[in-house]
Amino acid sequence: MTEPLPTTDLKQLSEDALSALQVLDTSDPGAVEKWRVEFLGRNGRLTTVLRGLGALPAEQRREAGAAANSLKEQLEQRLEEKRTQTLAAQAARAESLDISLPGRRMRRGRLHPSTQIIREICSAFNEMGFQTVEGPEVEWERYNFDLLNIPRDHPARDKWDTIWIEQPESRRPPDGQRILLRTHTSPMQGRVMERQQPPVRVIVPGKCYRFEATDATHEWQFHQVEGLVVDEGVTFADLKGTLYEFARRIFGANRRVRFRCDFFPFVEPGVDMSIDCFGCDGKGCRICKNSGWIEIMGAGMVHPKVLAAVGYDTARYTGFAFGMGPERIAMLRYGIEDIRHFFSNDLRFLSQF
């Protein structure tokens, strides 16, 4: 029996391999491997042909060997080309626009929770006839302290742990005034009163800074909303009525309000205002530290020395003022347990509001 010539085997093998490659799904690694094993593998058809070459005469063996190696290279190259084509087709499919697909939902931005509560507080007061004004965060100590009846070396300054701004000696004003990051919004009291005569009825939202260790209820940067009313005949009853109405608008009609004596050098008398705890309805719980009450602001009748310092006639005018922390108010309203969430830029927190 005559053995078929190896070149005839190679021709057939080439035809079979190329037609199988034509229908091969090169994105399927299993199918590619099967094709490779059948035609190029260790026991594949090409290797079988190569093994049979030993029986051939030397001249024919060399020729057939070269043809077999060239076919091997050709098949490997064709496989690679097919793979590249498949990848390109996949990429083109991925990039093409399918207008029948539903659109991607845009992520909606929203106002920061501090901004939301500040706007709510301000509009409650705006509806009661207050005008909103704003002032600088970098402030002179004259406004932050002196005009508020807290002269230099007064022990009350310790209450407002201050971040001072370094000033070269050469740039200090002759009166030695220093610059600081305002520790409260109260410096705007002096700025507003210096600019205008009574009646004054303003609300001042803004950022404040204190050199303070942070914890669940203290940040080193936070907001305050200040209020100031000065006119003829303003009494403590006006202060209480205004703040009761504010509490009703922000916390609802069912919350009870309590005033207690407190001390601030720029008011006389001074008070703090609390609402009954929303967590336990005043019975006492972890949120209110079992007192049943949560303090929300400091307030009082503007000290005559503060009115006199800006040139107001203290025999004619009286006033009241208050200052509250909107982050603390938002914490009470929404049951937020840690003030540090407000400035940590964590979207899981921010997107709840």
Residues known to be catalytic: 160, 184, 210, 224, 267, 321
C-alpha to C-alpha distance for 209 and 213, rounded to whole angstroms: 12
- Spatial neighbors of 46 by CB under 8 A, at least 6 apart, are 13, 39, 40, 68, 71, 72, 75
107-130 exposure pattern, b = at least 16 Cβ within 10 A, e = fewer? eeeeeebbeebbeebbebbeebeb
219 binds ligand YSA (CB under 6 A): yes
In the complex, what is the shortest distance from the CB of residue 326 to ligand YSA, in angstroms, rounded to a whole number?
8
Residues 20-79 that bind ligand YSA (CB under 6 A): none
137 binds ligand YSA (CB under 6 A): no
**Residue 208: CB atoms within 10 Å:** 24
C-alpha to C-alpha distance for 270 and 159, rounded to whole angstroms: 15
Nearer to ligand YSA, 184 or 201 (CB): 184
Question: Which spans in 111-262 are helix H?
Answer: 113-127, 141-144, 187-195, 236-251
C-alpha to C-alpha distance for 144 and 140, rounded to whole angstroms: 6
Cβ atoms of 256 and 276 within 8 Å: the answer is yes
In the complex, what is the shortest distance from the CB of residue 182 to ligand YSA, in angstroms, rounded to a whole number?
10
In the complex, what is the shortest distance from the CB of residue 157 to ligand YSA, in angstroms, rounded to a whole number?
12
Contacting residue, 323, 330, 331, 332, with ligand YSA by CB under 6 A: 323
In the complex, what is the shortest distance from the CB of residue 128 to ligand YSA, in angstroms, rounded to a whole number?
17
Contacting residue, 212, 238, 245, 338, with ligand YSA by CB under 6 A: 212
Binding mask 226-265 for ligand YSA (x = CB under 6 A): x-------------------------------------x-
Residues 263-322 that bind ligand YSA (CB under 6 A): 264, 266-267, 297-300, 321-322
Judged by CB under 6 A, the number of residues near ligand YSA is 24
Eight-class DSSP state of 27: T
In the complex, what is the shortest distance from the CB of residue 300 to ligand YSA, in angstroms, rounded to a whole number?
5
Nearer to ligand YSA, 46 or 297 (CB): 297
Q: What's at 76, amino acid-wise?
A: E
Nearer to ligand YSA, 85 or 235 (CB): 235
Cβ atoms of 39 and 13 within 8 Å: the answer is yes
Residues 83-102 that bind ligand YSA (CB under 6 A): none
In the complex, what is the shortest distance from the CB of residue 225 to ligand YSA, in angstroms, rounded to a whole number?
9
232: left (phi over 0), alpha (psi -120 to 50) or beta: beta
Q: Which residues are at the interface with ligand YSA (CB under 6 A)?
A: 184, 186, 210, 212, 218-219, 222, 224, 226, 264, 266-267, 297-300, 321-325, 327-328, 339
